[in-house]
């Protein structure tokens, strides 16, 4: 589905991002695989995907909240002379606290990573897409942006901001051939669940039609579809991948 395309995917070292990375490689994409920190294990994993699927997977490691590091990374991409057909903004952090217990420091930290950094990176990459008159941007939001989940006022707000940004991008850049959509996962089986009480996780499972947690592969396959030409007439949308979460 992605043969011959080149993608930049953020937050690929673990969880949903790691699965998106593998699904993109499996579907024939060449990938700039972002991680915050370069480790031998991450480099080896990228090399193994390259060999397994006969694609190019290039590690690109930098701190998203470091503006200078981000600019340097974008320059590396530009020097390669390869077009960026797809941008997947997956990297993010989560924070759980009741509204009255949430601190200003945590609010600022979450927005720096989950929204401001994404906004800046998307500005850089979308300019390249506009020049080539083609591109697909997928932002990983959350059902917390759409539903009133207790303890998610900070996290949900950052992800809601992504939805608004995505819809505006779709309107402003559509005539340049650039699409922008969001995927909103429900409760997904990643290490982020460790910050949630087991009773809360079980309640979320019970409130889905499918009566199970989402798996990273469930989210990744939806991202592959939106990134592909099969979704060429889809833009400005929010795709919930939540197992039929009761709302």
Catalytic member of 45, 155, 225, 233: 155
Exposure string over 105-123, b if 16+ CB within 10 A, otherwise e: eebebbbebbbbbbebbbe
Q: What is the number of other CB atoms lying within 10 angstroms of the CB of residue 230? A: 11
Residue 241 near residue 186 (C-beta atoms within 8 A): yes
The secondary element (H helix, E strand) that includes residue 41 is helix 40-53
Q: How far is CA 29 from CA 46, 67, 90, 126, 238, in A?
A: 13, 27, 17, 18, 23
Q: Give helix then strand counts, H and E, for the chain.
A: 8, 7
CA distance 118 to 183: 15
Active site residue 233: no
Distance of CA 244 to the CA centre of its chain: 21
Residue 105 near residue 153 (C-beta atoms within 8 A): no
User: Could you tell me what percentage of the chain is helix, strand and coil, using 3-state DSSP and rounding each to the nearest 5?
Assistant: 50, 15, 30
How many CA atoms lie within 13 Å of 2's alpha carbon, on the beta-carbon side?
A: 32
Residues belonging to the active site: 155
């Amino acid at each position: 589905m992605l043969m011959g395309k080149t993608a930049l995917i953020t937050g690929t070292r673990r969880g949903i991002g790691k699965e998106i990375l593998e699904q993109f490689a499996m579907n024939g994409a060449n990938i700039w695989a972002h991680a915050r920190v370069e480790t031998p294990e991450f480099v080896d994993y990228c090399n193994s995907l390259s060999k397994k699927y006969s694609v190019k997977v290039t590690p690109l490691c930098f701190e998203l909240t470091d503006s200078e590091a981000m600019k340097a990374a974008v320059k590396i991409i530009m020097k390669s002379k390869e077009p960026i057909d797809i941008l997947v903004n997956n990297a993010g952090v989560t924070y759980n606290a009741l509204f009255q217990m949430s601190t200003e420091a945590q609010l600022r930290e979450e927005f720096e990573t989950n929204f401001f950094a994404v906004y800046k990176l998307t500005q850089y990459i979308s300019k390249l897409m506009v020049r080539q008159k083609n591109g697909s941007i997928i932002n990983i939001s959350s059902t917390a942006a759409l539903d009133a989940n207790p303890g998610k006022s900070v996290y949900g707000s950052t992800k809601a901001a992504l939805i608004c940004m995505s819809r505006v991008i779709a309107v402003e850049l559509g005539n340049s051939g650039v699409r922008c959509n969001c995927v909103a996962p429900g409760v997904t089986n990643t290490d982020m669940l460790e910050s949630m009480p087991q009773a809360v996780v079980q309640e979320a499972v019970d409130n889905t039609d499918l009566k199970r947690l989402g798996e990273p592969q469930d989210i990744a396959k939806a991202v592959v579809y939106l990134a592909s030409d099969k979704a060429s007439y889809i833009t400005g949308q929010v795709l919930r991948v939540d197992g039929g979460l009761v709302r």
